Structure 1
Amino acid sequence: MSVEEDVSTMTDQTEDTTGSSDSRRWQIACAGLAVLLVAAAVACFLLWQDRSDHEDRLAAEKAATAEAERIVVSWLTYDYRTYDDDMAWVTESGTDAFQEEYSPEALEGLRQEMVGPRQLVSRGRVVNSAATVEDDHHVTVLVFTDQTLTDRKIRRQGGEALHARSGVELVMVRDGDEWLVDEMVQLQFQ
């Protein structure tokens, strides 16, 4: 074997080693890019899912708050002459547990003890509200209100209506497409 053949053989071996080394680097680079691509796809999915959950919670908050405000206005707005009709919202907007607590008998008791004898007329309005979302189906809403009350004596004497500020905390529960009140607590402020 001549020197030229030895050099030629060594050059071929070096090219084979370099070629396989380049091939291996290329495979590692492709594998690394594939891992990064999968990680990016997973991150995009998680961000999309989180955004979707956030949008669902915002929609739940908005819908539950609007219904809670409507319910509170209905609760605080009544007239002794139309009291039964004014309280019909209880059966339309309350869960079974709520309807038990505010049963027709309980509402009739209020009418007989206070609303009827004093001939109360009340007008309520929402001043502000805030909500805490537990999940897409459970929202607690705090509603701040102003209530204007007149009774037979105030109307006869031409006196000024009584004004009360209060807060009402409602636990709202989604039932299908509707939001129902499950619990309601009236808070008094000085």
Structure 2
Amino acid sequence: MGDDDKGDDEGNDKGNDKGDDEDEDGGALLKRKRPETERAKRPWRRYLRRSVLPALLIAALAVSGLLGWRQWQDHQLKVAGEQAQQAAIAYAQVLTSIDSNKVDENFKQVLDGATGEFKDMYTQSSVKLRQLLIDNKATAHGVVVDSAVQSESTDRVVVLLFIDQTVTNTAAPDPRVDRSRIKMTMEKVDGRWRASKVQLL
């Protein structure tokens, strides 16, 4: 083999060795760069965990709180409506029942369940009404046959009532049944439901 060929072979071997070394060095650099890149990403992940997750948690708690508040409010309205409706039924029967022998007691019960505008009106008319009932020996007994809540809030409820009232007096000694519809506004005063307005429909 000639010297030139020998030189070429040695050059090729050195070049190959050098290329292999460079490949190894390049691979090592890539390996070194990858962990650095991963480490560079980790702070962002930590940031996302620290900022986004708490925000999501707060949002979830806020939504849960809002839904809970609405459920509580709906429950309060439902309770108010039911309580006012029962109070209106009981009061309507007091209002439409009278015994001429117990007029003062009846009036006291009526005024006890009234408030505001209706209480003032009934107080003013009770003197004339009292004498009229006594003179005619009137008796009446009212029964609520149906009722419904028309509107409601936590302190004011409007109730519709259907009433059968059995009436007797000196002019009509035989009992007769009068059917009437009443719209009664109930207001919560000192923790108790009272009638503030009564309308015949």
With normalisation by structure 2, the TM-score equals 0.80
Q: How does 1:92-107 map to 2 (within 5 A)?
A: 92-103=112-123, 105-107=124-126
Gaps of 5+ in 1: none
Gaps of 5+ in 2: 1-17
Q: Secondary structure at the match of 1:87?
A: helix
Larger Rg: 2
Q: How does 1:23-62 map to 2 (within 5 A)?
A: 23-25=43-45, 27-28=47-48, 31-62=51-82
2:106 maps to a residue whose letter is D
- Please say if residues 89 and 144 of structure 2, whose CA atoms lie closer than 8 Å, have aligned partners that are also in contact: yes
- Please say if residues 126 and 146 of structure 1, whose CA atoms lie closer than 8 Å, have aligned partners that are also in contact: yes
List per-residue Cα deviations over 1:73-112 (Å, max 9, x = no partner). Answer: 0110001221221121233112243221111x40121233
Structure 2 counterpart of 1:151, from 162, 169, 193: 169
Using the TM superposition, give the Cα deviation of residue 18 of structure 1 relative to its aligned residue in structure 2, in angstroms.
2.8
| In 2, Cα distance between equivalents of 1:142 and 1:108 | 28
Using the TM superposition, give the Cα deviation of residue 134 of structure 1 relative to its aligned residue in structure 2, in angstroms.
3.4
List per-residue Cα deviations over 1:121-161 (Å, max 9, x = no partner). Answer: 10000111111343211111111110010112433xxx3x1
List per-residue Cα deviations over 1:46-94 (Å, max 9, x = no partner). Answer: 1111111111111111111111111110110001221221121233112
With normalisation by structure 1, the TM-score equals 0.84
| In 1, Cα distance between equivalents of 2:145 and 2:35 | 82
- Please say if residues 94 and 110 of structure 2, whose CA atoms lie closer than 8 Å, have aligned partners that are also in contact: no
| In 2, Cα distance between equivalents of 1:176 and 1:48 | 27
Structure 2 counterpart of 1:121, from 139, 142, 150: 139
Task: Name segments (4+ residues, structure 1) moved above 4 Å.
Answer: none
- Report % sequence identity: 23
CA RMSD for the aligned pairs? 2.2
